[in-house]
Amino acid sequence: MLDFLNTFISGISLGSIYAIIALGYTMVYGIAKMLNFAHGDVIMVGGYLVYTGMISWGFNPLLAILFAMVGCTILGILTERIAYKPLRGATSNLAVLITAIGMSYFLQNISLQIFTANPKSFTSVVKWEGISLADGQLKIQGVTIITILTGAVILLALQLFINKTKAGQAMLAVSEDKGAATLMGIDVNKTISLTFAIGSGLAAIAGALLCSAYPVLTPYTGAMPGIKAFVAAVLGGIGSIPGAMIGGLLLGVAESLSKRFISTQLADAIVFTILIIVLLVRPTGLMGRKLQEKV
Protein backbone atom coordinates (compact mmCIF):
# COMPACT_ATOMS: atom_id res chain seq x y z
CA MET A 1 0.00 0.00 0.00
CA LEU A 2 2.76 2.42 0.97
CA ASP A 3 4.60 1.43 -2.13
CA PHE A 4 1.55 2.22 -4.21
CA LEU A 5 1.08 5.56 -2.46
CA ASN A 6 4.71 6.47 -3.00
CA THR A 7 4.51 5.64 -6.69
CA PHE A 8 1.23 7.48 -7.00
CA ILE A 9 2.66 10.63 -5.46
CA SER A 10 5.69 10.61 -7.69
CA GLY A 11 3.29 10.07 -10.58
CA ILE A 12 1.35 13.19 -9.60
CA SER A 13 4.63 15.08 -9.46
CA LEU A 14 5.73 13.87 -12.89
CA GLY A 15 2.21 14.58 -14.11
CA SER A 16 2.41 18.14 -12.83
CA ILE A 17 5.50 18.68 -14.95
CA TYR A 18 3.76 17.22 -18.01
CA ALA A 19 0.78 19.41 -17.22
CA ILE A 20 2.82 22.61 -17.07
CA ILE A 21 4.40 21.74 -20.42
CA ALA A 22 1.05 20.71 -21.86
CA LEU A 23 -0.38 24.11 -20.95
CA GLY A 24 2.06 25.67 -23.39
CA TYR A 25 1.03 23.30 -26.17
CA THR A 26 -2.64 23.71 -25.53
CA MET A 27 -2.64 27.51 -25.26
CA VAL A 28 -0.65 27.98 -28.42
CA TYR A 29 -2.85 25.49 -30.24
CA GLY A 30 -6.03 27.08 -28.93
CA ILE A 31 -5.06 30.58 -29.88
CA ALA A 32 -2.68 30.39 -32.83
CA LYS A 33 -4.11 27.08 -34.13
CA MET A 34 -0.67 25.60 -34.55
CA LEU A 35 1.25 22.75 -32.96
CA ASN A 36 4.46 24.17 -31.64
CA PHE A 37 6.67 21.10 -31.67
CA ALA A 38 9.61 23.21 -30.57
CA HIS A 39 7.92 23.68 -27.20
CA GLY A 40 9.70 20.68 -25.65
CA ASP A 41 13.03 22.17 -26.62
CA VAL A 42 12.17 25.46 -24.97
CA ILE A 43 12.04 23.42 -21.75
CA MET A 44 15.53 22.16 -22.45
CA VAL A 45 16.75 25.71 -23.06
CA GLY A 46 15.06 26.66 -19.79
CA GLY A 47 16.94 23.87 -18.06
CA TYR A 48 20.27 25.10 -19.44
CA LEU A 49 19.49 28.67 -18.46
CA VAL A 50 18.72 27.62 -14.89
CA TYR A 51 21.89 25.53 -14.89
CA THR A 52 23.99 28.42 -16.20
CA GLY A 53 22.49 30.82 -13.70
CA MET A 54 22.83 28.51 -10.75
CA ILE A 55 26.09 26.66 -11.39
CA SER A 56 28.12 29.00 -13.56
CA TRP A 57 27.02 32.35 -12.19
CA GLY A 58 26.13 31.29 -8.68
CA PHE A 59 22.60 32.74 -8.64
CA ASN A 60 20.28 31.46 -5.98
CA PRO A 61 17.71 29.01 -7.39
CA LEU A 62 14.78 31.43 -7.50
CA LEU A 63 16.81 34.06 -9.30
CA ALA A 64 18.07 31.41 -11.72
CA ILE A 65 14.50 30.34 -12.49
CA LEU A 66 13.46 33.95 -12.98
CA PHE A 67 16.41 34.42 -15.33
CA ALA A 68 15.39 31.30 -17.27
CA MET A 69 11.78 32.48 -17.47
CA VAL A 70 12.82 35.82 -18.93
CA GLY A 71 15.17 34.05 -21.34
CA CYS A 72 12.55 31.53 -22.50
CA THR A 73 9.87 34.21 -22.81
CA ILE A 74 12.11 36.17 -25.13
CA LEU A 75 12.98 32.99 -27.02
CA GLY A 76 9.29 32.13 -27.37
CA ILE A 77 8.35 35.56 -28.67
CA LEU A 78 11.30 35.59 -31.07
CA THR A 79 10.56 32.15 -32.54
CA GLU A 80 6.97 33.18 -33.07
CA ARG A 81 7.92 36.49 -34.70
CA ILE A 82 10.71 35.13 -36.87
CA ALA A 83 9.60 31.62 -37.78
CA TYR A 84 5.83 31.33 -37.38
CA LYS A 85 4.31 34.75 -37.93
CA PRO A 86 5.40 35.08 -41.57
CA LEU A 87 3.58 31.81 -42.25
CA ARG A 88 0.34 32.83 -40.62
CA GLY A 89 -2.34 32.87 -43.24
CA ALA A 90 -0.34 30.46 -45.38
CA THR A 91 -2.60 28.22 -47.37
CA SER A 92 -1.53 25.08 -45.56
CA ASN A 93 -1.09 24.44 -41.84
CA LEU A 94 1.54 21.96 -42.86
CA ALA A 95 4.03 24.77 -43.52
CA VAL A 96 3.86 25.93 -39.91
CA LEU A 97 4.03 22.38 -38.61
CA ILE A 98 7.17 21.60 -40.57
CA THR A 99 8.68 24.91 -39.48
CA ALA A 100 7.98 24.01 -35.85
CA ILE A 101 9.74 20.69 -36.28
CA GLY A 102 12.62 22.50 -37.92
CA MET A 103 12.71 24.97 -35.03
CA SER A 104 12.87 22.02 -32.65
CA TYR A 105 15.98 20.64 -34.35
CA PHE A 106 17.44 24.11 -34.59
CA LEU A 107 17.17 24.63 -30.83
CA GLN A 108 18.62 21.18 -30.14
CA ASN A 109 21.58 21.76 -32.39
CA ILE A 110 22.31 25.26 -31.24
CA SER A 111 22.31 23.94 -27.66
CA LEU A 112 24.62 21.15 -28.75
CA GLN A 113 26.91 23.81 -30.13
CA ILE A 114 26.83 26.01 -27.04
CA PHE A 115 26.56 23.48 -24.22
CA THR A 116 28.14 20.43 -25.96
CA ALA A 117 26.72 16.92 -25.86
CA ASN A 118 28.21 16.15 -22.44
CA PRO A 119 25.39 15.62 -19.98
CA LYS A 120 25.32 18.25 -17.28
CA SER A 121 24.44 17.03 -13.84
CA PHE A 122 21.82 19.33 -12.53
CA THR A 123 21.49 20.35 -8.91
CA SER A 124 17.93 20.47 -7.70
CA VAL A 125 16.44 23.93 -7.40
CA VAL A 126 14.65 22.70 -4.29
CA LYS A 127 16.95 22.41 -1.30
CA TRP A 128 14.25 21.21 1.05
CA GLU A 129 14.54 17.52 2.02
CA GLY A 130 10.83 16.93 2.12
CA ILE A 131 8.69 15.21 4.70
CA SER A 132 8.51 11.68 5.94
CA LEU A 133 5.29 10.11 7.10
CA ALA A 134 4.29 6.81 8.70
CA ASP A 135 7.50 6.50 10.71
CA GLY A 136 9.73 7.22 7.79
CA GLN A 137 8.19 4.56 5.56
CA LEU A 138 6.58 7.15 3.30
CA LYS A 139 9.08 9.75 2.23
CA ILE A 140 7.94 12.59 0.04
CA GLN A 141 10.76 14.59 -1.45
CA GLY A 142 10.73 18.35 -1.30
CA VAL A 143 10.96 18.66 -5.06
CA THR A 144 7.89 16.44 -5.44
CA ILE A 145 5.83 18.61 -3.14
CA ILE A 146 7.04 21.84 -4.72
CA THR A 147 6.32 20.49 -8.20
CA ILE A 148 2.75 19.56 -7.30
CA LEU A 149 2.11 22.90 -5.62
CA THR A 150 3.63 24.81 -8.52
CA GLY A 151 1.37 23.00 -10.96
CA ALA A 152 -1.71 23.83 -8.93
CA VAL A 153 -0.75 27.49 -8.50
CA ILE A 154 -0.04 27.88 -12.22
CA LEU A 155 -3.38 26.38 -13.18
CA LEU A 156 -5.26 28.67 -10.82
CA ALA A 157 -3.32 31.74 -11.87
CA LEU A 158 -3.87 30.98 -15.53
CA GLN A 159 -7.61 30.49 -15.06
CA LEU A 160 -7.82 33.80 -13.24
CA PHE A 161 -5.75 35.51 -15.88
CA ILE A 162 -7.89 34.22 -18.74
CA ASN A 163 -11.22 34.92 -17.14
CA LYS A 164 -10.51 38.16 -15.35
CA THR A 165 -8.27 40.22 -17.59
CA LYS A 166 -8.69 41.94 -20.90
CA ALA A 167 -5.69 40.13 -22.34
CA GLY A 168 -7.14 36.78 -21.26
CA GLN A 169 -10.53 37.55 -22.76
CA ALA A 170 -8.82 38.68 -25.94
CA MET A 171 -7.12 35.26 -26.04
CA LEU A 172 -10.49 33.54 -25.86
CA ALA A 173 -11.87 35.78 -28.57
CA VAL A 174 -8.89 35.19 -30.87
CA SER A 175 -9.12 31.45 -30.29
CA GLU A 176 -12.73 31.50 -31.48
CA ASP A 177 -12.56 33.85 -34.43
CA LYS A 178 -9.43 35.76 -35.38
CA GLY A 179 -11.18 37.74 -38.09
CA ALA A 180 -14.06 38.91 -35.96
CA ALA A 181 -11.67 39.73 -33.11
CA THR A 182 -9.57 41.99 -35.35
CA LEU A 183 -12.67 43.74 -36.60
CA MET A 184 -13.66 44.42 -33.00
CA GLY A 185 -10.36 46.17 -32.40
CA ILE A 186 -8.43 43.34 -30.79
CA ASP A 187 -4.76 43.13 -31.69
CA VAL A 188 -4.40 39.52 -32.81
CA ASN A 189 -0.62 39.66 -33.25
CA LYS A 190 -0.09 40.99 -29.75
CA THR A 191 -2.41 38.37 -28.32
CA ILE A 192 -0.55 35.55 -30.06
CA SER A 193 2.81 36.94 -28.89
CA LEU A 194 1.51 37.04 -25.34
CA THR A 195 0.39 33.42 -25.63
CA PHE A 196 3.84 32.34 -26.75
CA ALA A 197 5.38 34.41 -23.97
CA ILE A 198 3.26 32.76 -21.29
CA GLY A 199 3.73 29.26 -22.70
CA SER A 200 7.51 29.70 -22.91
CA GLY A 201 7.75 31.25 -19.46
CA LEU A 202 5.93 28.23 -18.08
CA ALA A 203 8.27 25.98 -20.05
CA ALA A 204 11.21 27.48 -18.13
CA ILE A 205 9.55 26.55 -14.83
CA ALA A 206 8.85 23.07 -16.20
CA GLY A 207 12.50 22.81 -17.26
CA ALA A 208 13.73 23.68 -13.78
CA LEU A 209 11.38 21.19 -12.14
CA LEU A 210 12.05 18.44 -14.67
CA CYS A 211 15.81 18.72 -14.29
CA SER A 212 15.46 18.82 -10.52
CA ALA A 213 13.54 15.56 -10.53
CA TYR A 214 15.65 13.89 -13.23
CA PRO A 215 18.98 15.63 -12.84
CA VAL A 216 20.65 14.95 -16.17
CA LEU A 217 20.62 17.68 -18.78
CA THR A 218 21.46 17.16 -22.45
CA PRO A 219 20.30 19.00 -25.58
CA TYR A 220 17.74 16.20 -26.07
CA THR A 221 16.27 16.42 -22.57
CA GLY A 222 13.22 18.29 -23.77
CA ALA A 223 12.27 16.01 -26.64
CA MET A 224 10.56 13.10 -24.87
CA PRO A 225 8.80 15.14 -22.15
CA GLY A 226 7.71 17.46 -24.95
CA ILE A 227 6.09 14.61 -26.86
CA LYS A 228 4.48 13.23 -23.71
CA ALA A 229 3.14 16.63 -22.75
CA PHE A 230 1.72 16.91 -26.25
CA VAL A 231 0.04 13.55 -25.69
CA ALA A 232 -1.26 14.90 -22.37
CA ALA A 233 -2.68 17.96 -24.10
CA VAL A 234 -4.42 15.82 -26.72
CA LEU A 235 -5.65 13.42 -24.07
CA GLY A 236 -7.18 16.26 -22.08
CA GLY A 237 -8.60 17.90 -25.18
CA ILE A 238 -6.23 20.22 -26.99
CA GLY A 239 -7.15 23.86 -26.55
CA SER A 240 -8.55 23.27 -23.06
CA ILE A 241 -6.54 24.50 -20.07
CA PRO A 242 -8.11 22.26 -17.40
CA GLY A 243 -7.85 19.47 -19.98
CA ALA A 244 -4.08 19.92 -20.20
CA MET A 245 -3.85 19.73 -16.43
CA ILE A 246 -5.96 16.58 -16.17
CA GLY A 247 -4.25 14.98 -19.16
CA GLY A 248 -0.84 15.68 -17.67
CA LEU A 249 -1.67 14.28 -14.25
CA LEU A 250 -3.31 11.19 -15.73
CA LEU A 251 -0.33 10.53 -17.94
CA GLY A 252 2.17 11.03 -15.12
CA VAL A 253 0.34 8.66 -12.78
CA ALA A 254 -0.15 6.07 -15.51
CA GLU A 255 3.52 6.23 -16.40
CA SER A 256 4.73 5.94 -12.81
CA LEU A 257 2.41 3.09 -11.95
CA SER A 258 3.25 1.12 -15.09
CA LYS A 259 6.95 1.63 -14.50
CA ARG A 260 6.70 0.38 -10.94
CA PHE A 261 4.18 -2.42 -11.24
CA ILE A 262 4.19 -3.61 -14.84
CA SER A 263 7.40 -2.99 -16.72
CA THR A 264 9.85 -0.17 -17.07
CA GLN A 265 10.33 -0.90 -20.75
CA LEU A 266 6.63 -1.08 -21.48
CA ALA A 267 5.71 2.10 -19.58
CA ASP A 268 5.81 4.37 -22.60
CA ALA A 269 3.92 1.86 -24.71
CA ILE A 270 1.21 1.76 -22.06
CA VAL A 271 1.01 5.54 -21.95
CA PHE A 272 0.50 5.76 -25.69
CA THR A 273 -2.03 2.91 -25.60
CA ILE A 274 -4.06 4.95 -23.13
CA LEU A 275 -3.97 7.84 -25.56
CA ILE A 276 -5.22 5.68 -28.41
CA ILE A 277 -8.04 4.23 -26.33
CA VAL A 278 -9.19 7.63 -25.07
CA LEU A 279 -9.13 9.07 -28.57
CA LEU A 280 -11.15 6.12 -29.89
CA VAL A 281 -13.85 6.80 -27.32
CA ARG A 282 -13.61 10.58 -27.21
CA PRO A 283 -11.89 11.88 -30.34
CA THR A 284 -11.78 15.44 -28.96
CA GLY A 285 -10.08 14.38 -25.72
CA LEU A 286 -11.43 14.33 -22.19
CA MET A 287 -12.31 18.00 -21.86
CA GLY A 288 -12.30 18.91 -25.54
CA ARG A 289 -15.30 20.60 -26.93
CA LYS A 290 -17.39 18.98 -29.57
CA LEU A 291 -16.28 19.84 -33.05
CA GLN A 292 -18.72 22.02 -34.86
CA GLU A 293 -18.11 22.81 -38.45
CA LYS A 294 -19.79 25.85 -39.83
CA VAL A 295 -21.62 25.04 -43.00
Partner 1 sequence: MNMPLLEVKNLSISFGGLRAVDDFNLSIEKGQLYGLIGPNGAGKTTVFNLLTGVYKPTDGAILLNGRNITGHKTIEINRDGIARTFQNIRLFKDLSVLDNVKLGLHHRYPYRTITAVLRLPKYFKQETAMDERAMELLKVFDLDGEAATLASNLPYGKQRKLEIARALATDPVLLLLDEPAAGMNPNETQELMDTIRFVRDKFDMTILLIEHDMKLVGGICEELTVLNFGQVLKQGATKEVLSDPEVIKAYIGE
173 counts as binding partner 1 under rule CB under 8 A: yes
What's the half-sphere exposure (Cβ side, CA atoms, 13 Å) at 9? 19
Q: Which member of 185, 265, 281, 293 binds partner 1 (CB under 8 A)?
A: 185
For the bound state, the minimum distance from the C-beta of residue 70 to partner 1, rounded and expressed in Å, comes to 14
Q: What is the 3-state secondary structure (H, E, C) of 124-189?
A: CCCCCCEEEECCCCEEEEHHHHHHHHHHHHHHHHHHHHHHHCHHHHHHHHHHHCHHHHHHCCCCHH
Closer CB to partner 1, 30 or 247, in the complex: 30
290 counts as binding partner 1 under rule CB under 8 A: no
The two beta strands, 120-121 and 216-217, are antiparallel
165 counts as binding partner 1 under rule CB under 8 A: yes
182 counts as binding partner 1 under rule CB under 8 A: yes
Closer CB to partner 1, 184 or 216, in the complex: 184
Closer CB to partner 1, 95 or 167, in the complex: 167
129 counts as binding partner 1 under rule CB under 8 A: no
184 counts as binding partner 1 under rule CB under 8 A: yes
Dihedral angle, C-alpha 284, 288, 290, 294, nearest 10 °? -100
What sign does the CA torsion over 97, 34, 224, 271 have?
A: negative
CA-closest candidate to residue 110, choices 122, 120, 98, 102: 102
Q: Which member of 59, 169, 242, 260 binds partner 1 (CB under 8 A)?
A: 169
158 counts as binding partner 1 under rule CB under 8 A: no
Between CA 43 and CA 68 the distance in angstroms is 10
- Footprint (CB under 8 A) of partner 1, residues 191-230: 194
70 counts as binding partner 1 under rule CB under 8 A: no
| 8-state DSSP, 221 | T
180 counts as binding partner 1 under rule CB under 8 A: yes
Beta bridge partners of residue 120, listed in sequence order: 217
CA-closest candidate to residue 41, choices 97, 107, 121: 107
Scanning 18-26, 72-80, 141-149, 171-179 for contacts with partner 1 by CB under 8 A, the matching segment is 171-179
Closer CB to partner 1, 6 or 159, in the complex: 159
77 counts as binding partner 1 under rule CB under 8 A: no
Is the Cβ–Cβ distance between 44 and 106 less than 8 Å?
no
Residues near 13 by beta carbon (within 8 Å), at least 6 away in sequence: 143, 144, 147, 148, 213, 252
CA-closest candidate to residue 244, choices 21, 13, 8, 9: 21
137 counts as binding partner 1 under rule CB under 8 A: no
For the bound state, the minimum distance from the C-beta of residue 183 to partner 1, rounded and expressed in Å, comes to 6
Scanning 35-43, 71-79, 113-121, 161-169 for contacts with partner 1 by CB under 8 A, the matching segment is 161-169
Q: Which residues bind to partner 1, rule: CB under 8 A?
A: 161, 164-167, 169-170, 172-173, 176-177, 179-188, 194, 289, 294
